[in-house]
Chain A
Amino acid sequence: MSPATLATRHVQALLGALGRLARSPLATVFTLLVIGLALTLPAALGLLLTNAEAATGGFVQAVDMSVYLKPGVSLQQAQRLAERARTIPGVKNVRVISAAQGLREFRKYSGFGAALDALRSNPLPNVLHIVPQPAASSAVDLERLRRDLAAWPAVDMVQLDAQWALRFNAILGVLRRLVSTAAVLLGAGVLAVVGNTIRLEILNRRAEIEVTKLVGGSNAFVRRPFLYTGMLYGLGGAVLAWLMLEAVLIGLTGPVARLAQLYGSGFVLRGLTGRQCGVLFGGGLALGWLGAWISAHRHLRSIEPRA
């Protein structure tokens, strides 16, 4: 069979599958709806995750470290140490808070102004305020940076102001796992729905399959239209899931904007990116194909022509 003929056969099988789906619109729509809903849930969770990451992107930058230098370290030495700290990979910004500046701020915010006046000298050390890169803000990265800095001879102690950020990252981690678990479970659901639909279709077309095999149709030939039907179900369900997500997003945009405003944030709800859409459509297509293949493999073999 020439490649052109084979391509024509594929187009023919695809059009045939489309035609058969179109001929029973109600059944097709219900099947698509089930597949679409099954795909919507993991996609929605994924979207929640990306939006949570986007909404808290500002906070992650707030992860910072206070490096307290030993009392004898001068401001000049502190400036040199700050220069050195800036060269560490993963460090975004280093600010020197001098002892005098620290005292001023402390006097202003603590309310111990009068008591501090009684001190003859400034008891505060010079401090380096370090902001890590967002990409280097995982618990492991931060802990490594803290240990590195704490090992410097001039450093008295390093305080990591990031417990809450780490907790939040852990929550995101749980959410990520939830997304992949839901994707696996509901993907299996899509396989089952497509597989069962294809099984019924094979039983309905038993006579046709028998005759086709009778005149020499190979298993691949007989299977092909069913594989296309499965792929159409998968892709159609994915498109439906995408439409439902977009509808949900439109509904949420107003309330989310109000909430963001109350927090003084300009956060805007994000839809699926092009890449995420690709994963959704590609995943739907692949699941549809696989479900149809499993079903066709199982059921077509048992149909042999009888005369």
Chain B
Amino acid sequence: MIQLQRVSKRYPNGREALANVSFFVDRGEMVFVTGRSGAGKSTLLKLIALLERPTRGTVNVNGRNIGALKARHIPAFRRQIGVVFQDHKLLVDRPVFDNVALPLVVAGAPFPEIGKRVRAALDQVGLLGKERMLPMELSVGEQQRVGIARAVAGKPTLIVADEPTGNLDPELSIEVMRLFRRFSHVGVTVLVATHDKHIVREFGGREIVLDSGEMRGGDPDPLPPLVAHR
């Protein structure tokens, strides 16, 4: 599903955010990316969501080297993945429904289906009654969940979440992670960047630890396992 091979990212200002990172994530796996802030977690997710391109190395998603993707193919690629941001990136002047519907609208889904899938997504995050509210009328935790609903509404095969629980209390954090786990159980690959060690311990999933842009104790062999994919 996701395969990084000797990936490095150096920003134009000269900062080396990632150095020689390699790993493989299987379909339906839920993997945590941990490390201190500034360790390169966000950069890693940005490379996978194609918000940045690697300086060296290759990033394969769904068997495709996305670093070489042409600009006109980027929108179609982004529709296959759901991205959750710490600052949720919602449209503050649009109601919850419109925010969650946006990925479906840009994908050209027919209206009845949009309504169904938006409500299903909001139901999954427990916000079904708040479709007509503006993001500012919601609590921070609810806003975060709207962002998650938007990420899953398009039924992506991969969800990438950057500190999705950064603004949530422990209980809500656990709830959000359970949500992600449920998605992974139905075959969605989930990659979560977090600095919250408790969460990782609680869920006990695989962990990719970054330290100053380098992997600590990561897979020495970046090649996929030879067993059949789920």
Contact = CB atoms under 8 A, between A and B. Distances in A.
Contacts of B26: none
A2 B107 CA distance: 11
B110 A2 contact: yes
Contacts of B83: 214-215, 307
A129 interface: no
Among A6, A216, A217, max chain B CB count under 10 A is at A216
Contacts of B72: 218-219
Interface in B163-181: none
B195 interface: no
A216 B78 contact: yes
A208 interface: yes
A6 B110 CA distance: 9
Interface size range on B against A: 20 to 34
Interface in A220-247: 221
Contacts of B75: 213, 216-219, 221
Contacts of B108: 1-2, 5-6, 9
B85 A8 contact: no
A207 interface: yes
A8 B105 CA distance: 11
A20 to B, nearest CB: 11
A231 to B, nearest CB: 21
A169 interface: no
A113 interface: no
B15 to A, nearest CB: 16
Contacts of B103: 215-216
Nearest to B82: A215
Given A8-B111, A221-B106, A215 B91 contact: no
A305 B71 CA distance: 13
Nearest to A220: B75
A211 B147 CA distance: 11
27 contacts: A1-B108, A2-B110, A5-B109, A9-B105, A9-B108, A208-B91, A211-B89, A213-B75, A214-B51, A214-B83, A215-B83, A215-B102, A215-B150, A215-B154, A216-B75, A216-B78, A216-B79, A216-B103, A216-B107, A216-B154, A217-B106, A221-B75, A305-B51, A306-B51, A307-B51, A307-B83, A307-B85
B76 A216 contact: yes
Interface in A288-307: 305-307
Contacts of A1: 108
B91 A307 contact: no
B42 interface: yes
B155 interface: no
B102 A212 contact: yes
Contacts of B91: 207-208, 211
B95 to A, nearest CB: 14
Contacts of B162: 307
**A-B residue pairs, 10 tightest by C-beta:** A216-B79, A1-B108, A216-B78, A217-B106, A215-B103, A218-B75, A216-B75, A307-B51, A221-B106, A211-B89
A5 B110 contact: yes
A255 to B, nearest CB: 53
A215 B110 contact: no
A283 B91 CA distance: 36
Interface residues of A, number: 23
Contacts of A305: 51
B27 interface: no
Nearest to A304: B51
B142 to A, nearest CB: 18
A192 to B, nearest CB: 28
B121 interface: no
Contacts of A213: 75, 78
Interface in B37-69: 42, 45-46, 49, 51
B46 A215 contact: no
Given A8-B111, A221-B106, A306-B51, A214 B89 contact: yes
B49 A307 contact: yes
A8 B104 CA distance: 14
Contacts of A215: 78-79, 83, 102-103, 106, 150, 154
Interface string A1-19: 1101110110000000000
Contacts of B111: 8
Contacts of A9: 105, 108
A217 B89 CA distance: 15
Nearest to B85: A307
A214 B46 CA distance: 11
A154 to B, nearest CB: 78
Contacts of B90: 211
Interface string A120-153: 0000000000000000000000000000000000
Interface in B100-135: 102-103, 105-111
